Structure 1
């Protein structure tokens, strides 16, 4: 999902690593991040880590609470709606203009295969991570390093919204076969049809996440 750039500063590379952990579902909304544990784990100084925290706080992925520390941000309903709006603009357009021999199509295929294996093992968090990889590969179809970097932030926020929901099977299971169907359409040269299918898919996913989020707020 992320494309390593040697020109990045240490803090930017650390932010990239933490963002990748958010996308993988390893860090949860509201979780307090231990500066000591993370600096040991990443083998960096606390000063470098604090700068990475500042970058991610600016992106809205972390929040700093005075005298309490740094926490993983909790998405709002408004941010979820905006995330899906951006996803439709980026992903559907990238898919519509894609060609079947693009190298990213192989990454889409690998993500589908991984999701199928995870589904069989009932590893629903793994299915979710494979799903994230599938959509990152769709963005790769656009051949834009700027879009890839921007989508990294969007993907991290998206995974945080998934982390609010307590039923990953309900959230991720329906999309394994839909991903496979979109991939087959693209391979067959039906990129416009694949883009339309993706748009309907994203609308369905958005409704599912918002409905679950609303139920969560009622309980809270």
Structure 2
């Protein structure tokens, strides 16, 4: 007991010292608990991911979030899963799935999935109708005319531009308010055309 201190003062001093020590020891214990939890959760997460990947195989039925069957997996390529749905196709990433008792399910109701597919099919049909020789092609914002469709090819459409011809896949096109357009800006398009031509020229010179 410190000189001159009353018994209850000494007791109070001990209590204060204990309170000062508690946060430090509690922090260490909390940190150890968090580390332990992380170590125990990591294998569980890895096991879930492994189980998900194993279940996402061609031929596997796919359901919506409510357990209704919507189609089946037809192809797996890396993180992308191709699903045959109602006579059409849908490509999603593995993270789009939930694992249910029935099997893999998409995180959306059947009606919404079908509505999205129907809209995509309508957009694709509209683009296909607009991809005709002579059609102007604009930038994504519609502000610039990048070129014209010269001809159709198995890979997509051949465009005539100021920097030469370039073939672009059908998926690169969409219909804007101003007509047929590609999903890039004018600057991105010009840079892409020049890079493609430079690559082609380098390949020809190396022969």
- TM-score of the two chains, using structure 2 as the length reference: 0.23
- The higher radius of gyration belongs to 2
Q: Which has the higher strand share?
A: 2
- TM-score of the two chains, using structure 1 as the length reference: 0.22
Q: Which has the higher helix share?
A: 1
